[in-house]
Amino acid sequence: MEKKTRREFLKEAGTAALGLGWALPLAAAGCAPRGHNIAGSQRQWAMVVDLEKIQDPAVREAAQKACARTHNIPHIPDPQEEIQWIRVESFEHVFEDQIHGAMPPHELERSVLVLCNHCTNPPCVRVCPTQATWKRESDGIVMMDMHRCIGCRYCMAACPYGSRSFNWRDPRPFIETDAEGKFLSDFPTRTRGVVEKCNFCAERLRDGLEPACVEAVREVPGGEGALVFGDLTDPHSEVSHILRETPSRARRVTLGTGPNVFYIG
Amino acid sequence: MLEAAFRGGGRYWALLGFWGLLVALGLGAWGRQFTEGLTVTGMSQDVTWGIYIAQFTFLVGVAASAVMVVLPYYLHNYKVFGRMVILGEGLAIAAVLMCMLFIFVDMGQPTRVANVLLHPTPNSMMFWDMVALGGYLVLNLLIGAVTFDAERREAPPPHWIKPIIVLSIPWAVSIHTVTAFLYSGLEARAFWMTAILAPRFLASAFASGPSLLILLALILRRFTRFDPGEEAIRKLALIVTYAMTVNIFFVGVELFTALYSDMPHHTYPFRYLYLGLHGHDSLVPWMWFGAALTVVCVTLLLVPRTRNDLRLLPFLCAGVILAIWIEKGVGLVITGFVPNPLGRITDYAPTGVEVAVTLGVYGFGFLVLSLLYKIVVNVRERMIPA
Amino acid sequence: MGDRGKALVGLGVFILLVTFPLWGRLAGGQPVPGRDDLVYPDPAKATDCIEARDWMTANHMNLLNRWRDDLVRRGVTEYVSSSGKRYYPSLTKTCLDCHDDRDKFCNRCHDYAHVTPTCWECHTTPGGGA
C-alpha cells in the first residue's frame, strides 16, 4: 500500500517536473531586462549624422581614415574578414524597413555612414556570457574589454545592425604603419579571436577630445557638422538641439534597442 | 567493472583505433585552427556560426532524448526499457561531451574558456547553457554509475538516487530549451525568433535521439550476446514515429506563419532554404532531400507492418537521423544569418579543417560511447545464465 | 600479480619522462641559465617605481591587471600609490616612460621565468612601436 502511494507520488511529481523543463531557462530570461550591466546610464553620448553633408565622398573618407588611424584598424582585403568600425552602406540597405517602391533610385542609393549605435538597450550586452561587452553607466557607451572576450561571437548574432567585427586572423600584418614600421597610434591593436567595434572614441573622450571621425570631417570643406557628437541627456547639447528642431530617423527602432546614432537630411 | 573497457577482441580494438584515428585527425586540424585563427574556417563576418554550433545544437537534442527511456522506466515503471535505460544514459553522456567540445572548438580565444565561470552572467543564455549542460553531464554520470552498479550486484538501487532521477527529467528538457532560447531570444534574427523553436527542438530531438538508440541497440544485438529486447526497440520506434509526426506539424505551423503573413523578413529564410534567394541556393538540394526523407520515413513508420519490421527499421532510423541532422545541423544555424542585417546574403560552406575538427569531436564522442557500452555489455553478458 | 614487473617498468618510464626538464639540460651538456641581475631605469628619469621595488618585481602583473580593470571597466583614471603619488593607470603611457626598452626590462626576466605574457600581442610601446 505504502509502496504504491509513493510510486503514485513519483509519477505525479515527475509529470509536473517535466513541465518545469522551461522554468530554469525562463527564470534566466527573466533576469535579462534588468541585468546588472544594463542599468540606466547617467549620461548618453549620441551622434547625429547629416546625410546631405556626407554625400561628399571626401567627408566620408576623412571620417573612415581618422577612425582607422586612431584605432589601428587593419585593412583586410577579404570583405568577409574585414574589420569595420564605421562603414559606408546604401540608404536602401541601412533603412530597409523605411523604404518603399515609389522612392526614386537616387534616394535609395544615397551613401550612409553606419557605426555602432551604442544602444540604450543593447542586445549584444544582454547575450555576452562574460561581460566582455557592457553598457557604461557613466556615459552610455557600449564598451568592449578585449582582455575578457572569449570570441564566441554571440554578440554578432545578436546585433541587429551588423556593427561588430571578429578578428578571424592576426590583424597586425594588415595595420597601416609609418616608414619606421611603427603603428600610427598607440591604441592597442587587437589579437585574433576577439570581437571589436566602434567605441565612440572612449579613450579620446577621457582626454577631453571629440571622437576622431567628428573632428576629421570638420577639417574637410563642407564637412562642418556632418557628424555632431554630444550628450543626449543634456537638453542644451547640440545633438539635443538638432534632434528637437529637425526631423530625424534611426535604424530599426521597432526592435526596441534604442539606437543613439541619428540621421538627418 | 571498469577493466572491461581494456579487454576485448580484435574487432573491439579496431573500432577504438578507428575513433582514435578520427580524434588524431581532429586534433591536428584544431592545432592549425588554434595557431592561425578561425580564418581557416568557412565562417565570415556575416555568417559567424557554422558547422560547429550546428552540430552542438543537433547533439544537445540527442543528449536530451535520454529522457524518452528514463521517464517511462522510472516514473511509469515500464519494465520493458529495463535494459535500454543505461544505453540511453551512456548516449547522453557521450553527446553532452561532444556538445561541450563543439562549443570549445568554436571559440576564438579557447584559453579564456574559464571566463564564463569566473564572470558568471545570468542574463546570458550562453552562461545558462553551460550550467545546464554541465549539470546534465554530472546527473547522467551519477545516475548511470549508481543504478548500473546496483544492477551488477543484483540489488535495488539506493533510495537517495530516486529524487535525482526525477530531477534529471526536467533537466533534460531544459538543456534543449536553453539551447533554443539561445537563438529565439535574438530580435536581430527573424528566422530564429519564434516561440515554437524550443518545442520544435524537443520534438526533433525525441525523434533523432531514440533513432540513434535503436541503431545502437540493433548493433549490440548483432555483435554481442547482450539483447536490449525486441519489445523495447519496437516501443522506441513508436516514440520516434510520434515525435517525428509532431515535428512535421511544428515545421508546418512555422511555414504557415511565415508564408501566409508574407512578411519579407520571415519569408526570406524559407525561400533561401527551399527555393534559393537571389541566386543563392546552395542549401536547396539538402533541404529537399531532407524533406523527401522525412516524408518517406514517417510514412513507413506510421504503417505498423513496416515499422515493426526489424530489417527495415535501421534504414528508417538512419533516415530520420539524417533528416533531423539536415534540419538542425545544416539548415537552422546558417539560415539565421540570411540575409545579414544590411540585407546582403553570404553563403557558407565548411572548410576541410572544419570538417576534420568536426569528425574529431564525433570520433571522441563515439570513443567514449564505445568504452561505456563495452562495460555495459561485459557486465550484462556475465549476468546471462550460460 | 604477474603484471608487477610491467607496472614497475611503466612507473620508471613515467618518472623519467616527467622529470625531463630537470635532467634534460644537464644530460645535454647545456649550461643551466642563471638569473641575470635586474637592471633599473635611468636614475635621471626616476629613482623610485610606482610602489616599492621588491614589491613591484614580484607583483607588477597583479598591479597591471588591476589597472586594466580600473581603467577599462571601472573608468578609474588615477592610481594613488602607497606613498601618495598619483599615476595614470596605463602600461604604455606610464610604465614604459621609464622602462623604455622592452628587451631590457621585460623580456629578459620573462624568458628566464619562462612566462609568455600576452600584453604585446596588442599593446604597443609609446608612439606605436610593435
A188 and C124 within 8 Å at the Cβ level: the answer is yes
Q: Enumerate the H helices of chain A as residue ranges.
A: 2-19, 23-31, 57-70, 91-94, 105-108, 123-127, 154-158, 202-206, 212-219, 238-245
pLDDT band at C42 (very low <50, low <70, confident <90, very high): confident
Is C123 an 8 Å CB contact of chain A?
yes
Average pLDDT of chain A is 90
Asked whether the beta carbons of B301 and B244 are under 8 A apart, the reply is: yes
Q: Are residues A85 and A14 in the same domain?
A: no
Instruction: Write out the residue range of the structural domain in which residue A184 sits.
Output: 42-264
C-alpha to C-alpha distance for B240 and B235, rounded to whole angstroms: 9
Mean pLDDT across the stretch B48-75?
Answer: 94
Q: Which residues of C touch A172 (CB under 8 A)?
A: 130
Chain B residues with CB under 8 Å of A94 CB are 342
Give the gap in angstroms from C-alpha C106 to the nearest C-alpha of chain A: 18
The answer to whether residue B39 scores a pLDDT higher than 60 is: yes
Are A84 and A114 members of one domain?
Answer: yes
Would you tell me how many other CB atoms lie within 10 Å of the CB of residue B9? Answer: 7
Supply the pLDDT for residue C36.
64
Using CB atoms, which residue from C72, C121, C124 is nearest to A186? C124
Chain B residues inside the 8 Å CB shell of A159: 188, 341
Instruction: Give CA–CA dist A99/A83, Å, rounded.
Output: 28
Residue C19 or A6, more confident: C19
| Longest CA–CA separation in chain A, Å | 93
Contact B187, A256 (CB under 8 A): yes
Among A193, C92, A154, which residue's Cα sits nearest to residue B40? Answer: A193
Amino acid at A249: R
Mean pLDDT of chain B: 94
- Report yes or no: C68 at the A interface, CB cutoff 8 Å: yes
Contact B346, B70 (CB under 8 A): no
Whether cis (ω within 30° of 0) applies to the bond prior to A79 is no
- B301-317 mean pLDDT: 95
Cβ count within 10 A of residue B218: 17
Sheet holding A261-264, edge to edge: A227-231, A45-50, A261-264, A248-249
Average pLDDT over residues B286-294: 96
- Confidence (pLDDT) at A42: 84
Of all residues in chain B, the percent with pLDDT exceeding 90 is 88
Residue B176 has pLDDT above 70, yes or no: yes
pLDDT of A75-101, one tens digit each?
999 999 999 999 999 999 999 999 999
pLDDT(B15) > 90: yes
Residue B384, CB half-sphere, CA atoms under 13 Å: how many? Answer: 12
Q: How high is the pLDDT of residue C100? A: 86
Q: Which residues contact B375 (CB under 8 A, 6 or more apart)?
A: B1, B2, B4, B5
* pLDDT for position A41: 75
Q: What local confidence, expressed as pLDDT, does residue A20 receive?
A: 65
Task: For residue range B332-361, list pLDDT tens digits in order.
Answer: 999 999 999 999 999 999 999 999 999 999
Q: Mapping DSSP to helix (H, G, I), strand (E, B) and coil, where does residue B31 land?
A: helix
CA B200 to centroid of chain Cα atoms: 14
Judge if A123 and A194 occupy the same domain.
Answer: yes
Query: What is the DSSP track for B257-301?
Result: HHHHHT-HHHHHHHHHHHT-BTTB-TTHHHHHHHHHHHHHHHHHH
Residue A18 clears pLDDT 80, i.e. is over it: no
Touching A: which chains, 3+ CB pairs < 8 A?
A: B, C
Question: In the prediction, which pLDDT does A10 show?
Answer: 59
Per CB-CB distance under 8 Å, the chain C contacts of A185 are 128
Rounded to an integer, what distance in angstroms lies between the CA atom of residue B345 and that of residue B47?
9
* Higher pLDDT, residue C32 or B297: B297
Residue of A nearest to B164 (CA): A14
Q: Which residues of B touch A18 (CB under 8 A)?
A: 67, 71, 169-170, 173
Of all residues in chain C, the percent with pLDDT exceeding 90 is 25
Percent of chain B at pLDDT above 70? Answer: 99
Q: Which of A53, A123, C41, A131 is nearest to B182 (CA)?
A: A123
Range in B80-84, B214-218, B363-367 the model is least confident about? B80-84
Judge contact between B83 and B151, C-beta under 8 A. no
Task: Output the DSSP codes for B223-264.
Answer: HSS----HHHHHHHHHHHHHHHHHHHHHHHHHHHHHHHHT-H
What lies within 8 Å, CB to CB, of B68 at 6+ separation is: B88, B206, B209, B210, B236, B239, B243
- Report the run of H or E that residue C80 belongs to, with start and end: strand C79-80
Q: Which residue in the set C72, C122, C127 is minimally distant from A182, CB to CB?
A: C127
Smallest CA-to-CA distance from B144 within B165, B127, B126, B170 is with B165
Q: pLDDT grade, residue A38 (50/70/90)?
A: very low
A14 and A84, same domain (yes or no): no
CATH number at residue A178: 3.30.70.20
| pLDDT class of A23 with cuts at 50, 70, 90 | low
Question: Could you report the predicted ipTM of this complex, rounded to two decimals?
Answer: 0.92
Q: Which of B316-325, C43-52, C86-95 has the weakest average pLDDT?
A: C43-52
A60 in contact with C, Cβ within 8 Å? no
In this predicted structure, the answer to whether residue B321 has a pLDDT above a threshold of 80 is: yes
State the Cα–Cα distance between residues A45 and B258, nearest whole angstrom: 38
Given the C-alpha cell 571522441, which residue does it identify?
A: B364
User: Is residue A68 scored above 60 in pLDDT?
Assistant: yes
- Probe site for chain A from B45, B104, B189 (most A CB atoms < 10 A): B45
Q: Is B121 on the interface with A (CB under 8 A)?
A: yes
| pLDDT value for C26 | 73
* pLDDT (mean) for B21-45: 97
User: Which chains neighbour B (Cβ–Cβ under 8 Å, 3 or more pairs)?
Assistant: A
Q: Quick one: what percent of chain A has pLDDT higher than 90?
A: 82
Cα(A249)–Cα(A107) distance, integer angstroms: 15
**Cβ-based contacts of A167 with chain B (< 8 Å):** 37, 108
Distance CA B304, CA C6 (A): 57
Per-residue DSSP letters for B206-220?
A: HHHHHHHHHHHHHHH
Q: pLDDT of B177-229, one tens digit each?
A: 999 999 999 999 999 999 999 999 999 999 999 999 999 999 999 998 888 88
What was the pLDDT predicted at B386?
Answer: 57
Interface touch A152/B106, C-beta < 8 Å: yes
Architecture of domain B43-349: Up-down Bundle (1.20)
For residue C96 the three cell numbers come to: 614604459
| Residue showing cell 547482450 | B226
- Convert the pLDDT of each residue in B223-273 to its tens digit: 988 888 899 999 999 999 999 999 999 999 999 999 999 999 999 999 999
Report pLDDT for B284. Answer: 96
State pLDDT tens for residues A166-196.
999 999 999 999 999 999 998 999 999 999 9
Please report residues of A whose CB lies closer than 8 A to that of C92. 186, 188
Could you report the per-residue pLDDT of B103-114, keeping only the tens digit for each? Answer: 999 999 999 999
Residue A33 has pLDDT above 70, yes or no: no
Tell me which DSSP letter residue B15 carries: H
Q: Are the beta carbons of C128 and A186 separated by less than 8 Å?
A: yes
- Nearest residue in chain A measured CA to CA from B52: A152
DSSP letter at A180 equals: T
Residue A34: pLDDT band (50, 70, 90) is: very low
Residue B133 pLDDT exceeds 90: yes
Q: What is the pLDDT of residues A207-225, one digit of tens each?
A: 899 999 999 999 999 999 9
Residue A2 has pLDDT above 50, yes or no: no
- A252: closest CA among A242, A243, A263? A263
- Is 70 exceeded by the pLDDT of residue B372? yes
Reply yes or no on whether the pLDDT at A31 is more than 70. Answer: no
Give the residue from A156, A164, A172, A194 with the most B CB atoms within 10 Å of its CB, the best one to mutate.
Answer: A156
A74 and A5 within one domain: no
Please tell me the distance in Å from A181's CA to the nearest CA on chain B: 23
Q: Which of C77, C121, C126 sits opposite A186 (nearest CB)?
A: C126
pLDDT band at A36 (very low <50, low <70, confident <90, very high): very low
Domain count, chain A: 2
Q: Which of C64, C68, C73, C95 to mutate to test the interface with A (most CBs of A within 10 A)?
A: C73
**What was the pLDDT predicted at A13?**
62
